[in-house]
Structures are given as structure tokens and as C-alpha cells.
Amino acid sequence: MLTSQPQQGISSPAHLPAASTSAVKWFSQVTVELSYWHGNQRLKNLDQFEWHGDAVMAPALTHAQSKCDFYKIDESSSLELWAFRSQWQVAKVRAGADQHWSFAESLDHVTRVMVSHHPVWSSKHGKISPPDTWPGFTATFQKIISVDACRSRDELNGLVSASLCIFGQGPEAMSLAITNGAIRDLTITRVGANNHSPGCELFKVTGAIEVAMSPYQTESGLDHLEDTIRSSVGIKLSLVDGATATGQLDAAQRSTIWVVERR
């Protein structure tokens, strides 16, 4: 563990609900994840380094290089080791006699939000160029949710929060960067009655994030990038105060639709 350093709180971004009490603040957190890959497939997750700043980067990459040295992995090896950096905003609470900040576990809304995610190093390429030098795009999502019919659109504007999740385990993870995961232009539009759940209404939630395509990507084009995002990035919607309906929608209605445009 690194030596403790002062942490700077940040205010809740627009796509997150406000802190429920004055004792809750948002803090920046950085993680570096190491993993082994072969044939463009992830074989095994290695260690994860986490701290509230990029001080975590040096020990993470030193550890990655030590693993390469031990297993004799170099740029010509079929086995690769990759390092991915993610930046988060995490909710913390101040409690107890010492009034230290600790991770929030039981708030009624999202407590961990991804801000950015991209590869930073590999045994084959060495240090990866920063994603702000990659071709940049805006990715807009659309997702249908079902809520109690008594809820109005104006009510939902204060009850819905959205955050990103990365679930890709294939080569897409190496070719895509989330350069700004702070969801902007979050809007909620009524669609109509949910025929699968009486007493519930369907609402469409849309928003946008900023992404970039790796220069190491062998395939190009917006269609390929949309496929990459669709298979790698999810949108997690949270509805608080009992707004979520108990009825289930079919998979097609639950899926996230992505559209990508060059910036």
C-alpha cells in the first residue's frame, strides 16, 4: 500500500445524484489492472493496483515488467501482458470518532462511476500513446427502462443515474479508450405503456460519452467501432426511491443501442 496522502473531494457530476447527506463526497480513484493475453484473448487477470492518483502507475508497471522478466515475455512472445488504467469517481462517507473518509457501501444510488478507461502499456508495444492522440468519437446510447406509471418524466429526472461498465474480455478491450465517461446530455423521454407489466410505463434514456480508437487497431470504420463499443461497454441505470418496476422486459428492450459519430 502506498503512503497515505490527502484526498481532494469533488462535487457530484451532472449525471450522478447529489450526495444524500453532507457527509458524502465524491473522490477521484485510479486503478491499474494487469492481465495476460494470448491470441487476442484474455487468459488471466493478474494484480490490480488502486490509489487516488497516478502515483499508482509506477509500481504497477514495475510489477508488470518483473512478471515479463520472470516468464521471459518480450515483444516477440505470443503471450502478452497488458496494463489498463481506469479513473473513477467514488462516493465516500465521513463517519466514526476519527471522522475518516471510507467507501460508501449502502447509499441508495451509484457509488462508483467510471470516468476513463484505456490501455497504458503492453509487453509487445511498451508504453501506449495517450488516448487524446487517438482518433476521437462521440458515442450516444439509448436504453429503454420500465418504471411505475405514477412517475412523471420530471420526477425521473431526479431519480435516474447512469454509469458505465466495461464487460468485454476480448480484443476490443485493447482497441478502445473511454476518454470521457462523464455521461452528458442525459435525457428521459416517455415511450408508452409497458404491455409486459400492467401499471408500468416505458421511458427512453439517452446520453453520450467520448471514446477513441487505438492506433493499434487493425480494423477501422464506424461500424466496427460501434460493434466494439456494443460488445465492450454497458450502461448501468439506477433508479432510486422505489421507481423501478417489478415487471421484466424482454432482452431486446433491455439492450443498449449505440450510435457513433466522429468528433
pLDDT per residue as tens digits for the range 211-260: 998 877 666 677 888 888 888 888 887 776 655 544 444 444 557 889 99
Strand-pairing partners, residue 114, are: 88
5 or 180, higher pLDDT: 180
Residue showing cell 476518454: 179
Binning the chain into helix, strand and coil, the percentages to the nearest 5 are 15, 50, 35
Per-residue pLDDT tens digits for 52-70: 888 899 999 999 999 999 9
Q: What was the pLDDT predicted at 19?
A: 47
Mean pLDDT value across residues 18-24: 56
Rounded to 5°, the CA angle 46-164-216 comes to 60
DSSP structural state of residue 197: S
Q: What was the pLDDT predicted at 3?
A: 27
Phi, psi of 145 (to 5 degrees): -125, 160
Q: Is pLDDT above 90 for 147?
A: no
Please tell me the distance from the alpha carbon of residue 47 to that of residue 141, in angstroms, as a whole number.
32
Cell numbers representing residue 4 in the block: 497515505
Q: What was the pLDDT predicted at 251?
A: 46
3-state secondary structure of 63: helix
164 within 8 A of 143, measured Cβ to Cβ: no
Please tell me the distance from the alpha carbon of residue 18 to that of residue 39, in angstroms, as a whole number.
44
Give the count of alpha carbons within 13 A of 257, CB side only. Answer: 9
Taking alpha carbons only, the member of 239, 251, 240, 229 closest to residue 203 is 239
Q: What was the pLDDT predicted at 169?
A: 63
Please tell me the distance from the alpha carbon of residue 7 to that of residue 52, in angstroms, as a whole number.
7
Strand-pairing partners, residue 139, are: 209, 260
For 120-190, where are the alpha helices, taking DSSP H only? 153-157, 172-175
